[in-house]
Amino acid sequence: MTGASTAPTVIPVGSDYDVVIGGGVLEQVADLLREGVERVLVVHPPTLSGLADRVVGLLTDKGYAAEPAEVPDAESAKTSTVAASLWGRLGRAGFTRSDAIVGVGGGTVTDLAGFVAATWLRGVQVVQVPTTLLGMVDAAVGGKTGINTEEGKNLVGAFHPPVGVLCDIDVLRSLPEADFVGGLAEVIKCGFIADPVILDLVAQDPTAARRADNPRLRELIERAIRVKADVVAVDLKDNAVREILNYGHTFGHAIEQVEQFSWRHGEAISVGMVYVAELARLTGHLTGPEGDDLVAWHRAVLESVGLPTTYRPDRFEALLTAMSRDKKARGSTLRFVVLDGLAEPARLAGPSEELLRAAYELVSVR
């Protein structure tokens, strides 16, 4: 449950850093900075200027020279132009390699702040303060940073773990419902790939799951973060195990690109999960009545919280082109994360275009 009176939960990501989860934990932001920091740049979107000012105040009270840096909202923040503007701010303010950046915002801001931190003087500290459900359970945890190009999403980036992550669940109360529900896609993803209790918690009361005042929200967030933390701890640079976190993302990222990022990330990933579930059934990874039930469960759980499970029928060629640029592709070979069963992720490499199109037909609405 939320509230400052509840002790925070601390989830270690290997031996590298901690994720602090709870109500009112924003007050701990200065505690996560490591020795030697003097200057801090607080990166935030226009909608969170008040919260960013609060973070600046908390840091200033601890003796840091902190200043806010506003960036555009949503995916428009993740460009080389915006990154260059932040590099300019750092240079003019005299930031050294021992100084730090704090990212306050959703996944786009934490991606951008992390990338700028990774590239300024070849790496400075970054503390992530995600303010959306998506940011808390996905973008801010794991050390993946990046910006977009016209050719695709997150194609330019670096692995740069934060020195700490603060997930203050009280800030979710002001999050628009559509954005909150979009974040649930990444929570549900963790249920399918590793922790089925998440799916049970959502299925018990889908209406409550859609709300930030859900009494089980903190448990859902903690379970999803533990899934990611456990994976990242053994595979920081996405060489093997970490790939399972991309369940639904190859097709989902393609939707985002084709729709020019007008779809929320979680909405696209929701369709992407149904797509790879159908692809798993077509390729023999999911078989028999149990496989059919698992595919149906994808649709049931996702639809129960208001997430989409279908896509338009006239975009296959564009989606295929977008998927070919996916970071998980190897040469001309497309790679997908699929399931052999509930919480049994596997890899599928090089399915034929015929199979890819057949799965697309199964998620298309006419």
Which residues, other chains included, contact 296 with Cβ-Cβ below 8 Å and sequence gap of 6+? none
φ/ψ (deg, to 5) at 186:
-70, -30
pTM of the complete model: 0.90
153 is in an annotated binding site: yes
The tokens describing 223, both together, are 């379970």
73 is in an annotated binding site: yes
Task: Identify the bridge partners of residue 154 per DSSP, sorted by sequence position.
Answer: none
Question: What pLDDT is stored for residue 92 in this prediction?
Answer: 95
5 is in an annotated binding site: no
Nearest alpha-carbon partner for 198 in 254, 133, 242: 133
Sign of the CA dihedral running 272, 274, 275, 279:
positive
79 is in an annotated binding site: no
186 is in an annotated binding site: yes
Question: What pLDDT is stored for residue 232 in this prediction?
Answer: 86
b/e burial code for range 318-347 (CB count within 10 A of at least 16 → b): ebeebbeebbbbeeeebbbbbbeebbebee
144 is in an annotated binding site: yes
The tokens describing 349, both together, are 């490499």
Question: What pLDDT is stored for residue 82 in this prediction?
Answer: 95
Question: How many CB atoms neighbour CB 78 within 10 A?
Answer: 26
364 Ramachandran zone, left/alpha/beta (phi>0; psi -120 to 50): beta
Question: What pLDDT is stored for residue 327 in this prediction?
Answer: 58
Question: What pLDDT is stored for residue 121 in this prediction?
Answer: 94
Task: Please give the chain's pLDDT, 366 residues, in tens.
Answer: 344 447 899 999 988 899 999 999 999 999 999 989 999 999 999 999 999 999 999 999 999 999 999 999 888 899 999 999 999 999 999 999 999 999 999 989 999 999 999 999 999 999 999 999 999 998 788 888 999 888 877 889 999 999 999 999 999 998 999 999 999 999 999 999 999 999 999 999 999 999 999 999 999 999 999 999 999 888 666 666 788 999 999 999 999 999 988 999 999 999 999 999 999 999 999 999 999 999 999 999 999 999 999 999 999 999 999 998 765 655 568 999 999 999 999 999 999 999 999 999 999 986
18 membership: H or E segment, kind and range: strand 17-22
Q: Which domains does the chain have, with CATH numbers?
A: 9-174 (3.40.50.1970), 177-362 (1.20.1090.10)
78 is in an annotated binding site: yes
Cα within 13 Å of Cα(364), Cβ side: 13
